Amino acid sequence: MPATYTKVEKITDAAAIKQAYKPTHPGQFEVVYAEGDYNSKLVTCKSYAKGEIIAKVEGITPGPKRYTSVQIGKEDHIELNSDLVFMNHSCNPSVSLDTDTMTVVAVHNLKEGDNMTFFYPSSEWEMDQPFPCWCGAELCVKSIQGAKFLSKETMSRYFVTKHIQDLLNERDASEA
Ligand SMILES: [Zn+2]
């Protein structure tokens, strides 16, 4: 898997990109390109049972915090260098990105064509590019800035990585 994977964000000709596209995980999941900014998504190519490992996270490289990076420790960030970078955020996520075991796991039963989303604050403490959330989930947290800005109660609804749990514990101990 090349470390030079580029996430194309501003898409003006989805048909051309689709034609040139080679999935990094053929048969497992693929990018659905849509024109506009940040409109593309990652969908499953087959069904997965709740709790099933959809992919091992391989071919990562360390790097600075940026909009495509994933936090894997208190100070450490990586680039996914694969189609997994197209997983969008949802407050009702379909997968967990477990940076402790470096796996992507199905949160519930998934069928072919389902949108693969994860809860970004489960790995991100303070995001490089915060954004308002319009995911439509009943318990949408509305503003995605990172776990630092969410209560422990809210975070308890989600899969949370060890470094985020540690940072939440430290934050709440210092506030008490
Ligand atoms: Zn939301």
CATH code where residue 21 lies: 2.170.270.10
- The answer as to whether 2 is a domain residue is no
28 alpha carbon – ligand 1 mean position (Å): 25
- The answer as to whether 74 is a domain residue is yes
| Degrees to nearest 5, angle at CA 147 with 67 and 116 | 60
Q: How many domains does the chain have?
A: 1
19 alpha carbon – ligand 1 mean position (Å): 32
16 alpha carbon – ligand 1 mean position (Å): 31
15-72 per-position pLDDT tens digit: 888 888 999 999 999 999 988 878 899 999 999 999 999 999 999 999 999 999 999 9
pLDDT above 70 for 4: no
Could you tell me if 74 and 167 are in contact, meaning their C-beta atoms sit under 8 angstroms apart?
A: yes
146 alpha carbon – ligand 1 mean position (Å): 12
DSSP H or E run through 132: strand 131-132
11-30 per-position pLDDT tens digit: 888 888 888 899 999 999 99
138 alpha carbon – ligand 1 mean position (Å): 8
114-150 per-position pLDDT tens digit: 999 999 999 999 999 999 999 999 999 999 999 999 9
- The answer as to whether 147 is a domain residue is yes
- The answer as to whether 1 is a domain residue is no
- The answer as to whether 5 is a domain residue is no
- The answer as to whether 104 is a domain residue is yes
What residues sit around ligand 1, an ion, with C-beta below 5 angstroms?
A: 91, 133, 135, 140
From the list 93, 142, 82, the residue with the least C-alpha distance to 122 is 93
- The answer as to whether 3 is a domain residue is no
Residue 88's Cβ-count burial label (10 Å; 0-12, 13-18, 19+) is middle
87 alpha carbon – ligand 1 mean position (Å): 14
DSSP β-ladder status, 41-44 and 53-56 = unpaired
Domain of residue 101 covers 10-175
116 alpha carbon – ligand 1 mean position (Å): 14
